[in-house]
Amino acid sequence: MELKVGATEVMIVSGLRGGLLPEREGRRRVAIITQPGASQQAVLVSRRLKEANLDVDVLGVPDREEAKTLNVAATLYERFSRIGLGREDTIVGVGGGAVTDLAGFVAGTWMRGVEVVHFPTTLLGAVDASIGGKTGVNLSGKNLVGVFWDPTRVIIDLDVLEKLPSALLQEGMAEALKAGLIGDADLVEAIEADGLEVSLDKVVPAAVKVKAEYVKKDPRESSERAMLNFGHTVGHAVEYASSFSHGTSVGVGMVAAAAVSEADVGFAEKERVIDAISRIGLRTSVNGLDRTRVRDLIGVDKKRDRKGIRMVLLEAIGQPTLRHVDDTMINLALEAIGL
Ligand SMILES: NC(=O)c1ccc[n+]([C@@H]2O[C@H](COP(=O)([O-])OP(=O)(O)OC[C@H]3O[C@@H](n4cnc5c(N)ncnc54)[C@H](O)[C@@H]3O)[C@@H](O)[C@H]2O)c1
Ligand SMILES: [Zn+2]
């Protein structure tokens, strides 16, 4: 199946077939950037591209966030220089969101921008990070340095995602559920019905479509695209105040956002949100965390503006709205997650 997201062709496949890269005159070299957990897939992609008579270098980077640094980016630029990666050549990211964020960033900046193609190998990468052109590396804060740089193609191989360990499935499923809650009631139903066993055949295209629609309306995230932050205002605060993963924290953040939605805009399906998060196997409360610290961290990130803290709320499933919330609502959000 193929979807268009702006300039990007998203291909959802089962097994790698065909030429993989879009036609491009003058392309001689490909630099594949990959991480430890994706090395098998990187080998497959590399073999395919060599068969197409391209000069291929596989450049491994450290795992997870360790890859998203200016130092690692600098090492990659040095490698590109040594192998002679030119303006007509292509950078390929094979891995989770950390790899596609980094690969997109170095592609957007090497020689003022060369082509990038992504092969996301985690569910989160497939339904979220590889879609929409945001790239970046971390400084003291996450994703502080970056560019918008659209991949020409994203190839999501469902066969790879089927084999993911459940912790990685949960990470992506939290974002897929988020996509459903802000834009696709059927997707929410599917996750409610089958939890982590839900067919990826159904989940991946549906979640990609929701993200694609928001990106299309607002490619540079100045308005509508902010809806994709549903669950992330409280979620990020929980993540920074704990050792919970991003997906776990966003799950909890969605419970908080559902509670505020109920109180502030009359959302009637809070319990369904909580049930769906439980079905994925994620926690719905975080009692034990330092309440004051979580409270202080809410709104430290980008969701704050001059008028205060903004939160994405739900009027109904599939109908998000961006609202300023006051202290009463923040307290209610914290209570809803056991703080
Ligand atoms: N650009 C965006 O719009 C956007 C959106 C959401 C998230 N992100 C970014 O994405 C990153 C998180 O992505 P992630 O959760 O994919 O994390 P990740 O890239 O850190 O990968 C998580 C782990 O999965 C392993 N892995 C990768 N593929 C695997 C496979 N097929 N089988 C087994 N293990 C595998 C990796 O080696 C790593 O240990 C964060 O840096 C976040 O900022 C970006
Ligand atoms: Zn997220």
Query: What are the tens digits of pLDDT across the range 103-139?
Result: 999 999 999 999 999 999 999 999 999 999 999 999 9
* Top CATH class, 2-164: alpha beta
Question: Known catalytic residue: 134?
Answer: yes
User: Mean of the pLDDT values across residues 288-298?
Assistant: 94
Q: Give me the pLDDT at residue 302, please.
A: 53
- Amino acid type, 141: G
Residue 314's pLDDT band, with cuts at 50, 70 and 90, is very high
Q: Where are the domains of the chain?
A: 2-164, 167-336
> Residue 155: exposed, middle, or buried by beta-carbon count in 10 A (0-12, 13-18, 19+)?
buried
Pick from 24-33, 71-80, 179-188, 298-307: least confident: 298-307
Task: Identify whether the C-beta of residue 234 lies closer than 8 Å to the C-beta of residue 42.
Answer: no
- What's 96's DSSP letter? S
Please state whether beta strands 55-60 and 115-120 pair in parallel, antiparallel, or not at all (unpaired). unpaired
- Tokens 């066969």 label which residue? 159
Domain 167-336 has CATH 3.40.80.10: no
- Amino acid type, 279: R
- Amino acid type, 208: V
Taking the C-alpha atoms of residue 266 and residue 247, their distance in angstroms, rounded to an integer, is: 26
Tokens of 257: 């956002």
Give nearest CA residue, ligand 1 atom 38. 64
Secondary structure E strands in the chain: 2-5, 8-13, 29-34, 55-60, 90-95, 115-120, 153-157, 304-305, 308-316, 319-325
Residue 304's pLDDT band, with cuts at 50, 70 and 90, is low
Residues with CB under 6 A from ligand 1: 35-38, 63-65, 68, 95-99, 101, 121-122, 124-125, 128-129, 132, 134, 142-143, 160, 164, 168, 171
User: Mean of the pLDDT values across residues 322-328?
Assistant: 94
CA angle 122, 4, 192 (to 5 degrees): 50
Pick from 6-10, 201-205, 298-302: least confident: 298-302
Q: Which residue, 210, 309, 314, 222, is CA-closest to 261?
A: 314
Identify the nearest ligand to the CA of 61 by its number: 1
pLDDT at 269 over 80: yes
